[in-house]
Each structure stands twice: as C-alpha cells, then as structure tokens.
Amino acid sequence: MDDYLSESEQLERVKAWLRVNGPWILAGIAVGGLAIGGWRWWQARSDRLAIEAGAEYQQVLKAFNAGNQARALALIGDLERDHAGSPYVDQANLAAARVFVETNQLERAAQRLETVEHETRDPELATVAKLRLARVQISLGKPDEALATLGQPLTGAFASRYHEVRGDAYYAKGDKAAALAEYRAARAAAGPTLAENDVLNLKIEDLAGAGGTAGSAGSDPHAASGTSAAGDRGVPGGQSDAAHAASESSRTAKAR
C-alpha cells in the first residue's frame, strides 16, 4: 500500500516512526558509545598497571642482586599491595624463595613458595611452586610433609619431575624400594630427551644395583648429585643445591 502514498504522506509516516523510536535509537547509540569508551579506558588502565608492576618487579630484582634483602622484601610488600593478583607478584615471591634458599633460610623460602602455590592464578606456576616447596621440605628433614604437598600424581609435562621428587622424599625417609619405584616411574614418564637424565639414571642404577639399598657414600648419587632443594630436579645435596634452585627460578622468571 505504501507504493500508493504520496511523497508527503510517506514523509509524515517516517517522521511519526522517528518520534516513537528515535529516543530508543539515540539511547542505544549512547550506550554503545559508553561501552566502547569504557572498554578503552579499562584496557588503557590495565596496560598502565601492568607496566607499573613490571617496573616494580625489576626494582625487586635489582635490590636482591645488590644483596639488599630488606629493601627487596619491602618492595615486594608494595607490589602485593598495589598490584594484587599480578603475575609479577608471583615472580617476586619466587625470586625471594630463591634468595632464601641460597642463604639457607629454608623456612622463609617455604613460606614464599606456599604463597605462590595457593595464590597464583597460573596453574602451571602453582605446580612449579609445589615441586620446589616439596624439595625445600625434604631439605628441612620433612619428607612426609613433602609427600603431602605433592598430593595426587601429576600428568603431562610435570609427571616425570613429580615422580622424581616423590622418589627423593621416600629416599629421605629410608624407603629405598619406594624411591626406586618412583625413579623408574619418573623415567617412564619422561620424553625421549628427558629419559637420558644422567642424575635420574644414576639414582636408579645405584638403588637397583644395591638390591634396593644405598651404595657407598662415595658413589651415592643422592649425596653427590648436587641437585636442589628448591629446583625441580634432584634430592637434597650440599651447598650447590641452592645454586641449582637459583638458576631454575631465574629461568622461570625470565620465561614469563
């Protein structure tokens, strides 16, 4: 029927339609504009906070590298207050744990690792913290706590390290048969490259060759391997344990 309306009649219909629907159209445009503007503001704010958190984290690392633990810990406190939930808070706590291991403050290292494990939003980082915490607990002479920390078996990329740390805990408890079973499980879970882990194979050979009992002190890989309480591999060893932990934490921090 509209085809038979005059131009003036069609114009009047358009005007009437706009009088009814125009306010809603304008409201929709306004809301859409506000939404876009709000998203852009939020994105800009998020970018600014991330840059600020990154800068504060670098200050934490500088303070630790300068040997100023007090300042570094104070900066971590500021970072936690100003940027709660930021991944830089997790990395700062991992850095603190590394330094505490290096300086034989294992209880304080355990506290930082527990914080990361329970508060990080990154599941993989939580697993890394869990493995390192278990190593620290083994070095503290608490293998049962380490086993409780490890909990249920892990799968995927962390499965081999999980079983190796469990083996370390059982070895520390004196249960060499269980330790050997875990080391073998660690080797089975490893990929083709990790299966050539010399330290892990040495542990297996030592226990299997001794019929499930430790070899002599001179050939004991658990005493000589020098792997770390806070790294992701090995069992409690000497002072070189801290060096391994430091390198592992540093690589993780740099990779994120």
Whether the Cβ atoms of residue 117 and residue 211 lie closer than 8 Å to each other:
no
Record the pTM: 0.67
pLDDT attached to residue 191: 74
Whether the Cβ atoms of residue 131 and residue 107 lie closer than 8 Å to each other:
no
Taking alpha carbons only, the member of 116, 108, 51, 48 closest to residue 85 is: 116
pLDDT attached to residue 251: 40
* Local confidence pLDDT in tens for the 256 residues of the chain: 455 555 666 666 766 766 777 676 776 776 666 666 665 655 665 566 578 888 899 999 999 999 999 999 999 999 989 888 889 999 999 999 999 999 999 999 999 999 999 999 999 999 999 999 999 999 999 999 999 999 988 888 899 999 999 999 999 999 999 999 999 999 999 877 665 678 888 999 989 876 544 444 344 566 444 345 545 433 333 333 333 443 444 444 333 3
> What is the rounded CA–CA span in Å between residue 2 and residue 23?
25
pLDDT attached to residue 229: 54
Q: What is the DSSP string of 196-248?
A: G-HHHHHHHHHHHHTTSS---TTT-HHHHS---SSSSSS---STHHHHHHHHH
pLDDT attached to residue 217: 39
pLDDT attached to residue 216: 40
Q: What is the DSSP string of 140-167?
A: TT-HHHHHHHH-SPP-GGGHHHHHHHHH
User: In the chain, what are the domains?
Assistant: 42-255 (1.25.40.10)
